[in-house]
Structure 1
Amino acid sequence: QGEIKYPKHELPDNLSWGPDKWDEDYRDNNRINCYETGTSPCKAACPAHIAVQGYIRKAKEGKYREALELIKKDNPFPAVCGRVCNKRCEAACTRGTIDEAVSIDAIKKFVAEQDLHAETRFVPEVVIPSNVDKQWSQKIAIVGAGPAGLSCAYYLATKGYKPTVFEKNEKLGGMLTYGIPSYKLEKDVINAEIDILRDLGVEFKTGVDVGKDVTLDDLRKQGYKAFYIAVGCQGGRLPGVPGEDAIGTDMAVSFLHDASENHDRKLVGKTVVIGGGNVAVDCARTAVRLGSKEVGMYCLESRETMPASKNEIEETLEDGISVNNGWGPKEILKNEDGTVKAVVFKKCLRVIDPQTKRFSPVYDENDTITVEAQHVIFAIGQTIDWGDLLKGTKVEFHHGNYPVADSLTYQTAEPDIFVGGDVYSGPKFVIDAIEAGKNAAVSLHRFVQPGTSMTIGRNRRQFIELDKNNIVIDSYDTAGRQEAKELEGDKHSFRDLHGTLTEEQVKIEAGRCLGCGASVVDENKCIGCGVCTTKCEFDAIHLHREHPECSTMVRSEDKFKAILPYAIKRGMRIVFGKKTAEEKASQKKHKEAVKAAKAAKKANK
């Protein structure tokens, strides 16, 4: 790519700085997260914009605690994401244009594992103004203990708050606990991540259904100044076909919830899962583990366009599950006792309207198949169960029963109510919810501080991906992508058998990173102090004066030579200069104090 030139900020040196130059949002616009030349694609692609290149370098150097600290600046749950992230960073990895992408998620998992097994866990430092006594006094309530709510609580706690998280279930974690099967994410990992929130002072109240057991008005009377609603999408969608109410049908969310509570439950007979996303995959693989003798997935999409990730589909096939593409439900046939007998499917000819790009399936009603089944699980979408949570508030709703809120601040029409996560965006991935929770923490912090703007000076976290097609890669480590060894055990159990890279593998894999980020110095902000040159462990930073005639500054390397003559003269004046009686007495007193201190030190020896 060659030398990169970065734009300088315009300065008022020789310009007329009139009203046209005024920018009321200067504090934000002045903060450039990423120049037009771009940043590392992995960081730009990650919804949380984690400093991927940075923590991979730390891992390569064996500085795992520092790597973890860097990750947790943007993601408080690396052990969780190391197991269930959809890996958008790897999809964008520049190394993937050469051979295979860096196994970023596996490195993150290894780094997190070091902390999980450490005698002393990493607890982030709470950063709070010096004029505040230990913590902020404002009370903030978070409704929902899923990834969005927990992320919000974490970052509020690091800002000096003691938020309270209300969860209607008895266990924390939301969909992490009740929606993701243990063979992908074991519950002790979730609990270990949540323990850090407890160490930060976050309070949890489980078994409390806000809106039913206690209202928002009740909480306001208790002194809560702001609320973050992150209850997720806990309901399911029905296909709207005859027989969908048959005994033996179930919604994906409730099915996974029940399965997480009772691994001993048995599914007798054949199971049909309707849907093609990751949730449908989870249902199908869970059905196998609950004893169903034959499991089949049926979805509208083709194999290439299925919403489920490729590795999820591969593991589904390895479990002996059939994946049947291009079929939509037409009818659920019942036995005389009302139980499921079979499912009639019709051929799907098209899923997306090519003109509008919207979901608009077209079927051939005459091309059908009938599949015998005793259990049918609908995994075709999720809905929000609000209950009485927002009853009596000014919160507005739009299509799909989703709340209307500002896209930057997440603030609703009710000023003290903020929303986020799946309940605002619709069902997404864990990392999306984590980022939403972090942004909400910024908004809540600003809201409860009197006179603080919700937007001015706010870091919008906007990044531009490096143009991978316009860079020169001269040399790189030729090692192949490292894969973790699977653990031994029953592949159809609820135990997570996905292994972790060894330390040696991590070093090799981290060495495959091309380091395609960039170090940026804004010359109009650099004051030439030279501190960076002394702090860099690799002596990689040097200051050079391009126009010495334009400044009277002395290079740090020449400072001693420059000040030496003046230092000698000053020393001579101090030693031989005339002193007043007061100065002489002070000097004598100082000498006596030094002499006494030396004598005391000698006596102690």
Structure 2
Amino acid sequence: MVKETVLDFANKISRTKRGSRGGVTEVDPEYKILEPIMTDEMAEAGMQLKLREKMSAADVAPLCGKSVERTEELLWELAVVGGAFVNEVEGVNKYWLDVWVPGHMEMIVNNKELIAKYPQLGEAFDAFGKKRGPMAAGNIPVGSGPMRVIPIETAIDGDTRSASYEEVSKYLADNDVFSLSDCACRASREAMGEGCGHLKENMCIQMGHAAEYYIKTGRGKKITREEAVEVIKQAEANGLMHNIPNFDGSGKTHAICNCCGCGCFAMRLATQWQNPDMIRSNYQVRIDEEKCVACGECVEACPTNAMRLGKKLCASTDAPAPEREYPHDTEWGDDKFNPDYRTNKAVVFEEGSAPCKAECPAHIGIQGYIKLAAQGRYQDALALIKKENPFPAVCGRICPRKCESDCTRGDIDEPIAIDEIKKFIAQQDMNAETRYIPTKRWDHGKPIAIVGSGPAGLTCAYFLAMDGYKVTVFEKQPALGGMLTLGIPSYRLEKDVINAEIDVLREMGVTFQTGVEVGKDITLDQLREQGFKAFYVAIGAQAGRKLGLEGEDVEEVKTGVDFLREVNLGNTPELKGKTLVIGGGNVAIDVARTAKRVGAESVELLCLEGRGRMPAHEEEVAEAESEDVLISNGWGPTRILSENGKLTGVEFKACLSVLDAQGKFAPVFDDAQVKVIPADHLLISVGQAIHWGDLLAGSDAELNGNQTLKADALTFQTAQEDVFTGGDVYTGPRFAIDAIAQGKEGAISIHRFVQHGQSMVIGRVKRDYRSFDKQNLLLQGYDRAPRQATAHVCGKQAQKSFRDLRGTFTEAQIKAETARCLGCGTVKADEFMCVGCGACTTKCKFGAIKLERVFDADGADLKTVKKVIIKHALKRKVRVTVNKPFKKIKKIMQSDQAKRA
């Protein structure tokens, strides 16, 4: 049943007449937001209130025919639910009405008890914006919308600053009373289960009469000006920007909102309806491409997706840019809108960008840290790396260097020695004095369990700790690091390197429990009972695989993985005589080189693949050969020979092909080419397996046929909703950098999962960084500066030691090598979509981004803004009508040209 007086009240706030063309009906959000929280009697009292004119209960009582006492009760109830403002003036409560937005909608949603009880309040707030947004597109001039971006103040320092009404500090200085409340937009999103991961708590600052109202009605807590400044600083440090209510008149406002583009209803005007004029400040972004290093920090921070990466190098042919249409002179309907803006944010323009960032699984800002290293800013470079990868010192020693494989410099002479530059930078992490400890971004506090301390689990722990979660890592082995520690020999990755970077996690508050096997010593259910809210399962693939040949069970036959684990744990087996290693990957090479170091008189590695098709890196194969490891390609084992339970040798056949026509593993052997190789020890390194034990007992989580854990490819959430995964246990054996990339995504998902009302995908940046087409570049006129290299390590010397004898670049080499970088990527801006918030400038370490004042619009006043909007809308209508036939003809001509082309 419709509450008739409440419906009348909804029309009163809307300044419409019930039954008129634009009047509010019972199906409109203006009514739906009031219906569950307001009685007709409350509405009767509210009907007597006026827009921004303060009235006491004594003023209202005779108008509504009730006693002063009852009128006071009703008005107070109205104010508590958000149907009216209230301030105390000379000891008397005074009440008044405001506009819907920014006004009553926010006030209603910011009543914590009401939004929890009636989630439809959030739905109504959302629906109100969806109703009004399309109608406003193109019809409101710059500076006349109900909300307006105010630039981050540091972005307009210097000559560009020219109006105090666009400075945060001006509003803070003008007021004496401040409150801090939840963000109404995010509260609404959360109530609908559509949160973007940016949480609502303690986000918005009210000032003056609004602060008094929020404090009085319990919507916000009273804070000092100094505390308000700290809230502003924290918001900016975390990539948020500022909006202010814009109908109080020039240089006046009653609130400062700290917003994100994926949650804010005001920012939706720019992003969903592609109508930034309605929300923008007077500023637009300007890029100095010569200074830009395409690190991508600004791209992911931009709330309107106006910033994307592109290429800096000249192209042999450039396609003409399509002509842009704008809402101020074009019909602006559904075909121009972007309803999926919360899930389709792009990080590169169609042309693509620098290959190094695109090819790195963790998408580190490689060009950025190379530039910082060139400037001698090593601490800044380390901080930039650790925004994506908490283990640069580790990766500097074992990374597969996918970034170098596709480096544009390699099309001229040799790729940049990216890994060596990173290794030099990361040396700071080896010393406690220069170690980079990230600043805690938030303090979310909830306990999270990480099962497995390999690169995926540790990375997940790192990023969760940055958000202030209480993280505990459970590791069944006595040592931390997973396969970093137990599967990689010390001559490639010394243990103090791993431990130094794990110590960073300890300083961040992460707790470690070693020697604890989850599923055996403690179960997931028991951990849930202890209060853990989510689990990240990353136990890796730490078991070896055998060949299934007869004779494998003799003592002298081991898997390579088991062999490396024993050595790394200090239980070094003694190998005498001849050792054979079967396998052609990097692990097999590690096994062979380690076997030389623990006493094998000779080591021969045999694999199915030819030399050019071995999975192992060519450099590592060459290092093994320099240490007297014999590599025999094109042979596969067929029998293991033994006498009296003791290994004597292995029979091999020549391998004619490894894969079938479909690319599947299906080796074909030549029965005529058979040889038997005598052996004292056999180490099999043909893959790794996952040992689950009882970890998933009683869980809904499911396994694939190869025993990897099934999970969503974007969120890494399993069928057991509080269990997430990543690393080798999800993908099968891969590189540490792949696991690191997944660990960060796992942390993002867990944060969203444990916070009420957050979506796993909305507002999540899909980091689809793509390389440009190098075939379309003009690579002429560059120097031929040689690639720098560390001193050669003598294989004869290396095979006698478990120390990593590889050197690190000198500072002079760093200067020389970083100068070789072409700087081929850059950020580019869609200036129309830029709203001038300045969030991008807070992320740039190179002075490549600034805001420039291009508009001169003052703030709006509710008393006069309607006339301004009507005048603008009429002029727009004329422009649209005049331009329509010309645009139609132009489109036909462009279509004809495209067909002829």
Question: Same fold by TM-score, threshold 0.5 exceeded?
Answer: yes
Q: CA deviation at 1:137?
A: 2.6
Equivalent residue runs for 1:374-523 within 5 Å: 374-486=680-792, 490-492=797-799, 493-523=801-831
What residue is the counterpart of 2:367 in the other structure? 53
- Worse overlay, 181-190 or 471-480: 471-480
Write the letter of the residue equivalent to 2:343: D
> Which residue does the alignment assign to 1:347?
654
Counterpart residue type for residue 416 of structure 2: V
In structure 1, the residue matched to 2:508 is 200
Q: 287, 298, 321: which one pairs with 2:595?
A: 287
Instruction: Tell me, in whole angstroms, the C-alpha distance in 2 between the residues paired with 1:10 and 1:27.
Output: 22
* Structure 1 Cα separation of the partners of residues 512 and 842 of structure 2: 45
Change (3 A) 1:42 1:234: same
Q: Cα distance, 1:17 vs. partner?
A: 5.7
2:584–2:609 contact (8 Å) kept in structure 1: yes
The residue aligned with 1:166 is: 474
Helix, strand or coil: the match of 1:297? strand
Equivalent residue in structure 2 for 1:26, among 341, 344, 359: 341
Q: 1:325 aligned to 2:633? A: yes
With normalisation by structure 1, the TM-score equals 0.85
- Cα distance 1:462–1:533, how it changes in 2: closer, same or farther (>3 A)? closer
SS of the residue 1:518 aligns to: strand
User: Contact conserved, 1:83 with 1:185, CA < 8 A, in 2?
Assistant: yes
Indicate the SS of the match to 2:433: coil
The farther-off stretch of 359-368 and 402-411 is 359-368
The one of 514, 535, 538 aligned to 1:227: 535
Residues 147 and 433 of structure 1 are in contact (CA less than 8 Å); yes or no, is this contact kept in structure 2? yes
Measure the CA separation in 1 of the matches of 2:396 and 2:568. 20
Q: Deviations over 1:21-59 (max 9, x none)?
A: 665541231x22111111110111110011010000000
1:123 paired with 2:123, answer no
d(CA) in 2 for partners of 1:531, 1:402: 40
Alignment size in residue pairs: 541
**Corresponding residue number in structure 2 for 1:580:** none
Matched, 1:138 2:446: yes
Q: Which residue of 2 aligns with 1:114?
A: 428
Deviates more, 1:455-464 or 1:172-181: 455-464
Question: Do 1:46 and 1:89's aligned partners in 2 also have CA atoms closer than 8 Å?
Answer: yes
Letter in 2 for 1:51: G
**Aligned: 1:156 with 2:437:** no
Letter in 2 for 1:121: R
Deviation of 1:352 after TM superposition, in Å, equals 0.8
Q: 1-side partners of 2:546 and 2:458: how far apart?
A: 30
> How many Å apart are 1:126 and its aligned residue?
1.3
What is the alpha-carbon root mean square deviation over aligned residues?
Answer: 2.5
Contact 1:107 1:501 in 2 (8 A): yes
- 1:147 partner amino acid: P
How far does the alpha carbon of each residue in 1:495-522 deviate from its partner, in whole angstroms, 9 at most, with x for none?
1000000001001000000000022112
Which letter does structure 1 place at the counterpart of 2:705?
A: H
C-alpha distance in 2 between matches for 1:538 and 1:487: 37
- From 375, 379, 384, the counterpart of 1:70: 384
Q: In the aligned structure 2, how far is the partner of 1:295 from the partner of 1:449?
A: 55
1:364 to 670, 674, 677: 670
The Cα of 1:248 is off from its aligned counterpart by: 0.2
CA distance in 2, matches of 1:109, 1:238: 35
Q: By how many angstroms is 1:64 displaced? A: 0.3
| Secondary structure in structure 2 of the residue aligned to 1:125 | coil
Q: Secondary structure at the match of 1:141?
A: strand
Check 1:477–1:281 CA distance in 2 against 1; reply closer, same or farther (3 A cut): same
Distance 1:136 1:541 in 2: 32
Is the CA contact (8 Å cut-off) linking 1:476 and 1:512 kept in structure 2?
no
Q: Deviations over 1:409-463 (max 9, x none)?
A: 1111110011110000000001001001011001101100110000111111111
In the alignment, residue 224 of structure 1 is paired with which amino acid? Answer: F
1:252 to 544, 556, 560: 560
Question: How many angstroms does 1:117 deviate by?
Answer: 3.2
The aligned counterpart of 1:38 is 352
Aligned to 1:562: none
Q: In the alignment, is the contact (CA less than 8 A) between 2:413 and 2:784 conserved in 1?
A: no
Distance in 1 separating the partners of 2:519 and 2:415: 47
How many angstroms apart in 1 are the aligned matches of 2:833 and 2:420? 38
The answer on whether the counterparts of 2:445 and 2:468 sit within 8 Å (CA) in structure 1 is no
Q: CA deviation at 1:271?
A: 0.4
Whichever residue aligns with residue 383 of structure 2, its letter is E
Q: Gapped runs of 5+ residues in structure 2?
A: 1-313, 859-901
Aligned to 1:94: 408
* CA pair 229-67 structure 1, distance change in 2 beyond 3 A: same
Distance 1:388 1:395 in 2: 12
Corresponding residue SS for 2:764: coil
User: Could you say if the C-alpha distance between residues 485 and 9 of structure 1 is closer, same or farther in structure 2, counting changes exceeding 3 Å?
Assistant: farther
Offset of 1:14 from its aligned partner?
5.3
Letter of the aligned partner of 2:426 in structure 1?
A
Contact residue 566 and residue 572 of structure 2 kept, 8 A: no
After TM superposition, give the deviation of residue 339 of structure 1 in Å: 1.2
Q: What TM-score, normalized by structure 2, do the two folds share?
A: 0.58
**Partner Cα separation in structure 1 for residue 570 and residue 844 of structure 2:** 54
Change (3 A) 1:533 1:193: closer
Query: Which residue is equivalent to 2:519?
Result: 211
1: CA distance, partners of 2:425 / 2:788: 15
What secondary structure does 1:465 align onto? coil
Q: Deviations over 1:366-390 (max 9, x none)?
A: 3211001011011001111000000
Q: Is the 8 A contact 1:485 1:501 kept in 2?
A: no
- Counterpart amino acid of residue 108 in structure 1: K
- Per the alignment, do residues 16 and 215 of structure 1 end up closer, same or farther by CA in structure 2, a change over 3 Å counting? farther
Match of 2:534, SS?
strand
Q: Distance in 2 between matches of 1:536 and 1:240?
A: 56
Q: Which residue of 1 aligns with 2:399?
A: 85
> Residue by residue, what CA displacement relative to the aligned partner does 1:452-477 show, whole Å, maximum 9, x if unpaired?
00011111111110211212235434
In structure 1, list runs of 5 or more residues that go unmatched: 129-134, 555-605
Cα distance change on mapping 1:325 and 1:532 into 2, 3 Å = closer
The residue identity in structure 2 corresponding to 1:230 is A
Comparing 238-247 with 448-457, greater Cα deviation is found at 238-247
Q: Is the 8 A contact 1:263 1:290 kept in 2?
A: no
**1:242 positional shift:** 1.5
Q: Distance in 2 between matches of 1:532 and 1:198?
A: 31
1:515-559 Cα deviation digits (max 9, x unpaired): 0002211212334689989998988668899xx8xx6569xxxxx
Quote the offset at 1:262 in angstroms.
2.4
Structure 1 pair 88–9 and aligned structure 2 pair: CA distance change class (3 A): farther
Distance 2:506 2:773 in 1: 42
Residues 453 and 13 of structure 1: CA distance in aligned 2, closer, same or farther (over 3 Å): farther
1:533–1:291 distance in 2 versus 1, CA, 3 Å: closer
Partner SS for 2:456: helix
Q: Percent identity?
A: 53
Whole-Å Cα distance in 1 between the matches of residues 790 and 487 of structure 2? 25
- Does residue 1:307 correspond to 2:621, yes or no? no
In 1, the alpha carbon distance for the partners of 2:700 and 2:346 equals 36
